[in-house]
Amino acid sequence: MTEIPPILTVRNLTVVFPDNNDGLRALEDVSFEVCPQEFICVLGPSGSGKTTLLRVLAGLYSPTTGEVEFGNGRTPRIGMVFQQSNLMPWRTAIDNIMLPLELKNADRVTARARAQELIDLVGLTGFESALPRDLSGGMAQRVAIARALIHDPDLLLLDEPFGSLDALTRERMWMELSRIWQARQPALGSPGKTVVMVTHSIEESLLLADRVLVLTQRPGHIRLDLEVDLPRPRKEEMRYTTHFGKLAKKLKDAIG
């Protein structure tokens, strides 16, 4: 795998927020590389800087020291799901989903068709013209997930996207996300999708990720960088295998 250059390199990243004292250190000397099409999960206790890390990757914060470098030197197309669904209250569900394509001045008819596909995919058929105020938290979050996918981003940044979903929907979304992520088309020259996902759930990270990064309590820095060598496609039954149990134990110990 060494011949493939990483799509994303984070080097000695430190983020300090200004406060009344000598600054609040959110991230401390974080370094890791992400290969193209890799699925990374970030675990860590609350306040360990997971959201901060994603926001740096999205270009919303700049590093205090250290650097973030993208493989081909250009910032990739980013699809981001925020911790809160973050929908525009004046737009209907489908119009919210179409926003990224609208910003690219894409053709409206194709954009609408694509948005409809995604609405069906996230199980919101019939709610196309519902306003965010009429959606439950979980439904709003699914709209946000569809919005992050519509412009076919190279890099998906997901901040606890399934936190507000019920167990059943969550498991279905896991499978859909795996499917979307695996639908890479190297033959067509598409670079495929790379995913960095923040989560609180060890199980979720083991069912989805190639690698799991565990951040320590504030200031966050990487305590464990764990390869998840479970076979794909992942099935939920794998939870009950001894290897899954071993990996889960390692993560649990690292989180502390």
Kindly tell me which of 51 and 141 has the beta carbon lying closer to Mg ion: 51
Distances from the Cα of 252 to the Cαs of 51, 102, 132, 158, 217, in angstroms? 20, 43, 36, 21, 14
CA 201-49-75 angle, 5° bins: 100
- 16-28: string of b/e by CB count within 10 Å (b at 16+)? beeeeeeeebbbb
Kindly tell me which of 97 and 226 has the beta carbon lying closer to ligand ATP: 226
Alpha-carbon gap, residue 221 to 50, rounded angstroms: 10
What is residue 220's DSSP assignment? Answer: B
164 binds ligand ATP per the rule CB under 6 A: no
Kindly tell me which of 71 and 219 has the beta carbon lying closer to Mg ion: 219
Q: Smallest distance from the beta carbon of 149 to other proteins, in angstroms?
A: 13
50 binds ligand ATP per the rule CB under 6 A: yes
Residue 115 binding partner per list ligand ATP, other proteins, Mg ion, none, with a CB distance cut-off of 5 to 8 Å that depends on partner kind: none
Alpha-carbon gap, residue 163 to 230, rounded angstroms: 23
Interface residue with Mg ion among 51, 92, 141, 216 (CB under 5 A) is 51
x/- site string to other proteins, residues 48 to 77, per CB under 8 A? Answer: -------x--xxx--------------x--
In the range 209-228, which residues lie near ligand ATP by CB under 6 A? 218
Longest dimension (CA), the chain: 54
x/- site string to ligand ATP, residues 1 to 20, per CB under 6 A? Answer: ----------------x---
Other CB atoms within 10 Å distance of the CB of residue 225: 14
Residues at the interface with ligand ATP (CB under 6 A): 17, 24, 26, 44, 46-52, 83, 218
